[in-house]
Amino acid sequence: MIKFIQCVRKKPELSIQDFRQFWKTYQEKATELARAMNAKGLTFCTTLNVEENLQVMLTRGTSEPYDGVAQFLISNAPRTIEALSREPGKSLMAELQRLQTGFIDLENSAFFFAAEDVAIRR
């Protein structure tokens, strides 16, 4: 399986609450896109605003956590690319990209493809 992963940071001027409102809309549109491209799965994670995250960052010397993570699970890359080149995938992708520019700090986010290696599945 291949994953398309989006590690997202909010624009600095947005509050966490505002980010989460945008993120909810983004999830709805990303779900429509995942269906249109026949993705095998789609997950979203939202970082918890808890003291433990600050402690991990300070003790391990890591950067701030991403505000959200989206993972599209793809089993057939050529078929996915084809689906994104025709409707409705093409316009859904354009709409998702427009949403991204409104609330995501793209320069400090990361979008990438990765191979999935499952160590434990229950």
pLDDT tens digits, residue range 71-122? 999 998 888 889 889 999 999 999 999 999 999 999 999 999 999 898 998 9
The residue segments making up the domain with residue 66 are 2-115
For the chain, the domain total comes to: 1
122 occurs within a structural domain: no
pTM to 2 decimals?
0.91
Calculate the dihedral angle through the C-alpha atoms of 99, 103, 109, 113, rounding to the nearest 10 degrees.
Answer: -20
In the beta sheet, which residues pair with residue 44? 70
Question: Could you check whether the bond before residue 12 is cis, i.e. omega within 30 degrees of 0?
Answer: no
Burial tier of 28 (Cβ tally within 10 Å: 0-12, 13-18, 19+) = exposed
CATH of the domain at 99: 3.30.70.100
Across the chain, mean pLDDT equals 95
Q: In what order do the strands lie in the sheet with 2-8?
A: 41-46, 68-74, 2-8, 110-115
In a domain, 74, yes or no: yes
